[in-house]
Amino acid sequence: MSPGTIALVVVAVSVALWALFMAGLTMRKQRRAAFATAGSGTTTSSGGDRGGASAPPQAQPEQSSPEPEQKPKPAPKKAKPLTNAQMSVSRRQFLNRAWTASFTAFLGFFGMSSLSFLWPKLTGGFGTAITAGSYEDLVGLVGPDAGYKPLFNAEGRFWLVYYEGTGDSPVYLATGWSEDMKLLALYRKCVHLGCSVPHCSKSSLFECPCHGSKYRLSGEYYGGPAPRGLDRFPITLDGDKVVVDTGLPQTGPPRGTSTWDQFSEPTGPLCVPV
């Protein structure tokens, strides 16, 4: 799950919790109003019972004054229990404070997540310029001497391939390919629905295991539901070092593009049958 999806899920959950909280407050207010109405009715009826005529006082016989006695110490007063209104106020204050704290924490998390998207990492990692290695070493690993076997870079999420085609497509110029730079950095993400695309050594194609999209060694479209070829990243040379900018993906070549005759067709059986 991507960070953007996680952020959307967090927002949706927070909105749902807020709605539940407000519904609870409304229900509590309605119950308190009902209790207050019932209490006022009871008080009125009790007052009516006490409103009758009182009996006349009876004459008391005279008594001799008693001897003074010591008054007993008064018992300590018991704490009065909280009324329903007081208890409801305490609960409301607690819930309000708990909700405020959780919502503040959510805002902090969401703000930090947003800043992480807007503020790219300065060194290393996907979305930045990655040094893949020296040009000569990489050509030796993926070039003719190595059987044109592509090399996967996990940090940058791209396949590094050797390319000897004509480059007759604007995307090759946009990614820095030239006679002196015969390497391509192909984004491993399938342009159909985003699955990771492995390389099939038997067919020399990149074959998506999810829905069967297939791409040539150059990343150009070969078959399946994909709308175009694999996207790729710009490559530059910094001295003898190959630098791949994974923060600037370029849209892959359209269907029908075929610029390298040597790998225009599969070299063997498919790994993902049609």
Q: What percentage of the chain has pLDDT greater than the value 70?
A: 69
Tokens of 161: 């391939």
Predicted pLDDT of residue 48: 46
Residue with token string 């001897």: 67
> Over the chain, what HEC string results?
CCHHHHHHHHHHHHHHHHHHHHHHHHHHHHHHHHHHHHHHHHHHHHHHHCCCCCCCCCCCCCCCCCCCCCCCCCCCCCCCCCCHHHHHHHHHHHHHHHHHHHHHHHHHHHHHHHHHHHCCCCCCCCCCEEEEEEHHHHHHHHCHHHCCCCEEECCCCEEEEECCCCCCCHHHHHCCCECCECEEEEECECCCCCCECCEECCCCEEECCCCCCEECCCCCEEECCCCECCCEECEEEECCEEEEECCCCECCCECCCCCCHHHCCCCCCCCCCC
232 within 8 A of 157, measured Cβ to Cβ:
no
Distance CA 265, CA 155 (A): 30
In the chain, where are the structural domains located?
1-32+105-119, 129-263
pLDDT grade, residue 17 (50/70/90)? confident
Q: Is the pLDDT of residue 123 over 70?
A: no
Amino acid identity at 121: K
Separation of alpha carbons 158 and 113, rounded Å: 25
**What pLDDT shows up at residue 29?**
72
Residue 125 has pLDDT above 80, yes or no: yes
Most confident of 6-10, 37-41, 153-157: 153-157
Q: What pTM, to 2 d.p., does this model score?
A: 0.57
The mean pLDDT of 139-158, rounded to a whole number, is: 94
What's the confidence (pLDDT) of residue 213? 96
Give mean pLDDT, residues 64-87. 63
CA 158 to chain CA mean position, Å: 23
pLDDT digits (tens, 9 = 90+) for 97-113: 777 777 777 777 766 66
* Cα–Cα dist 106/117, whole Å: 17
Q: Which residue type sits at 30?
A: Q
Q: What is the rounded average pLDDT for all residues in the chain? A: 80
pLDDT digits (tens, 9 = 90+) for 150-188: 999 999 999 999 999 888 889 888 888 887 789 999 999
CA distance 111 to 220: 40
CATH number of 129-263: 2.102.10.10
**Residue 49, pLDDT score:** 47
Q: How far is Cα 39 from Cα 96, in angstroms, rounded to an integer?
A: 27
pLDDT (average), residues 60-66: 55
Q: What is the pLDDT of residues 186-234, one digit of tens each?
A: 999 999 999 999 999 999 999 999 999 999 999 999 999 999 999 999 9
